[in-house]
Amino acid sequence: MVTAREGELPARHAAVAAAFLACAIMLGGGGSPNPATELLLQLVFAIAALAWLWLPLPAPGTWPRSRSAWLVCALVLAVPLAQLVPLPPALWTGLGGQQDRAAALALIGRADGWQPLSQAPSRTLAALLAMIPALFAFVAAAALDARGRQWVMGAIAAMALLTVLLGALQLSLGPGAPYLYAENHRGVVTGFQANRNAAADVLLIGMAAAAAFLVPSLGAKGFPAVSGRVIVSDRRAAGVVLTGWVAVLLVGTVLTASRTGIALVPLALLGVCAIVRPALRDLGRLRLLPIAAAAAAMLLIGLGMAVGNTALGEVADRFAFSGDFRRELWRDGWYATERAWPWGIGLGGAQYALIAAERLEILDPALPNRVHNDYLELALEAGLAGLAALAAVAALLVRLAWRAWGERPQDRHLIACGATALLVVALHSLVDYPLRSMALSCLVGAGAGMLVPAGRRIAPPGAAAGGSRATMGEGT
């Protein structure tokens, strides 16, 4: 038994979760072409998980008590685990979508061997290992109380701000700018991400996280509409800090030149409004000040494009949609999905399937790495089971959010923050692959954890009588 003062347990665990998410944003943005940083992040995850278990070991609040939260984890892991189980030849050859595979293996005399459902087992195993840090972020966020979750949101918002600062440095230094990855979008704000779209999503989620972090400081004294700790003692100063924070992240999002990211700015701003609304309800029209500031920032950006600012002009040029290859990838991805339906080819195997399905009339010198639609890619890789698991996870998260919204109205700013993060990624997944980034998958995990009803701080039996042993529970 580890001794602790009341309130110490959640603080320690919140520090572990916040530090892990900061490292995830910094190291997990390279994607599959940059395995070294992803491996480093998985080592960081192992250290964070051990720290979570060790500080302190017997804490009732170390894990979420919601069964639905654990069912979400089971559903996410079930598909890749099932795809890795070897099956006898009489079984796997009789499954739909295996004809091409059986014919190819027959050419080398291996059609009568045991095979898993995945046609790329090593990549499926890699995909499984990449999911575990995101599930840790989910479990950690779900286990924390409201104050711990507030500090997790603060870490995300701070890393989003650092992303903009690093991106500004990259833009100012030009070709000689420091980049974390060999394969990196150049000439735009990417920061710790290799891809402009991933960088935009980090900044959009950072807007909501900044609001959730500062919203307890925005409420009037004596009116605790939201739970959490006051970070900035002066209410007006907190409003100025939040407005500036959101404006900087908004400008950074535009400078990523991500078209979908820019299109999702209004969604992020609506999320910020939903988050701060409980704290500003007594201000009348002044509660619209953050939106007015954001509108002013967007107006300035538009003027900059109009007068010929080079960086903003390049952003505007991308909206011409010239040379966009996504539609061709979707056609090839759909054809490959039909060939592999209903079992899929295995998580991580989309690139092989796209190469085999690529039409000669649109052959591109660059290898097709992704389908650029996460839902279509999930159907290709995981088949009907993957789509069913996704639908079940979404239903469970909606149920958890509904329960938390009704049970703990003082935590609605955290629920709105988590919902904003999930919606940003869900909509961007229609035209890209944000969940294939470990950085974004961990952010999605943390956002989903915000939907789980937050626990209350519970003093252990005997604590009021001066007992030296204390643990913190997270009841739901």
Burial of 207 (0-12, 13-18, 19+ CB in 10 A): buried
Judged against a pLDDT cut of 80, whether residue 308 lies above it is answered with no
Q: Which range scores top for mean pLDDT: 25-29, 108-112, 216-220, 461-465?
A: 25-29
At 474, which helix (H) or strand (E)?
strand 473-474
Mode of pairing for the β-strands spanning 457-458 and 473-474:
antiparallel
Task: Categorize the per-residue pLDDT at 300 as very low, low, confident or very high, splitting at 50, 70 and 90.
Answer: low
Distance CA 277, CA 392 (A): 31
Distance CA 139, CA 247 (A): 31
Phi, psi of 458 (to 5 degrees): -120, 120
What mean pLDDT do residues 417-422 have? 95
Judged against a pLDDT cut of 60, whether residue 365 lies above it is answered with yes
Task: Categorize the per-residue pLDDT at 61 as very low, low, confident or very high, splitting at 50, 70 and 90.
Answer: low
325-334 tens-digit pLDDT:
778 888 888 8
What mean pLDDT do residues 234-263 have? 87
Lookup: tokens for 405: 């919204």
What's the farthest any 2 CA atoms get from each other in the chain?
A: 79
Of residues 459 and 315, the one with the higher pLDDT is 315
pLDDT at res. 460: 41
Judged against a pLDDT cut of 60, whether residue 59 lies above it is answered with no
pLDDT at res. 62: 60
Judged against a pLDDT cut of 50, whether residue 243 lies above it is answered with yes
At 172, which helix (H) or strand (E)?
helix 146-173
Is the CB of residue 52 less than 8 Å from the CB of residue 16? yes
Judged against a pLDDT cut of 60, whether residue 306 lies above it is answered with no
Lookup: tokens for 42: 């998985």
pLDDT at res. 392: 96
Lookup: tokens for 469: 């042993």
Q: Which among 131, 56, 146, 65 is positioned nearest to 389, based on CA atoms?
A: 131
Judged against a pLDDT cut of 80, whether residue 51 lies above it is answered with yes
CA distances from 317 to 57, 308, 310 (A): 55, 12, 11
According to DSSP H, which parts of 341-435 are helical? 350-357, 374-407, 412-428
pLDDT at res. 299: 65
Of residues 194 and 110, the one with the higher pLDDT is 194
Judged against a pLDDT cut of 90, whether residue 468 lies above it is answered with no
46 contacts: CB under 8 Å, gap ≥ 6: none
Rounded to two decimals, the pTM is: 0.85
Judged against a pLDDT cut of 60, whether residue 469 lies above it is answered with no
pLDDT at res. 2: 38
Judged against a pLDDT cut of 80, whether residue 363 lies above it is answered with no
Distance CA 101, CA 356 (A): 12
Judged against a pLDDT cut of 50, whether residue 358 lies above it is answered with yes
- Torsion, Cα 50 51 53 59, to 10 degrees, reads 180
What mean pLDDT do residues 156-173 have? 91
What mean pLDDT do residues 360-387 have? 83
Judged against a pLDDT cut of 70, whether residue 224 lies above it is answered with no
Task: Categorize the per-residue pLDDT at 288 as very low, low, confident or very high, splitting at 50, 70 and 90.
Answer: low
Phi, psi of 176 (to 5 degrees): -90, 15
65-84 tens-digit pLDDT:
778 889 999 999 999 999 99
| Percentage of the chain modeled with pLDDT above 70 | 80
Judged against a pLDDT cut of 70, whether residue 297 lies above it is answered with no
420-440 tens-digit pLDDT:
999 999 999 999 889 888 999
According to DSSP H, which parts of 281-373 are helical? 289-306, 310-318, 326-340, 350-357
Which single residue is written with the structure tokens 């286990």? 143
Judged against a pLDDT cut of 60, whether residue 466 lies above it is answered with no
Phi, psi of 397 (to 5 degrees): -65, -40
Any idea what DSSP says for residue 220? P
What mean pLDDT do residues 381-393 have? 94
Is the CB of residue 211 less than 8 Å from the CB of residue 132? no
253-274 tens-digit pLDDT:
988 888 889 889 989 998 998 8
pLDDT at res. 386: 93
319 contacts: CB under 8 Å, gap ≥ 6: 259
What mean pLDDT do residues 285-291 have? 59
| Percentage of the chain modeled with pLDDT above 90 | 33
Task: Categorize the per-residue pLDDT at 444 as very low, low, confident or very high, splitting at 50, 70 and 90.
Answer: very high
Instruction: Specify the range with the lowest mean pLDDT, choosing from 115-119, 148-152, 295-299.
Output: 295-299
pLDDT at res. 376: 92
Lookup: tokens for 122: 């090593």
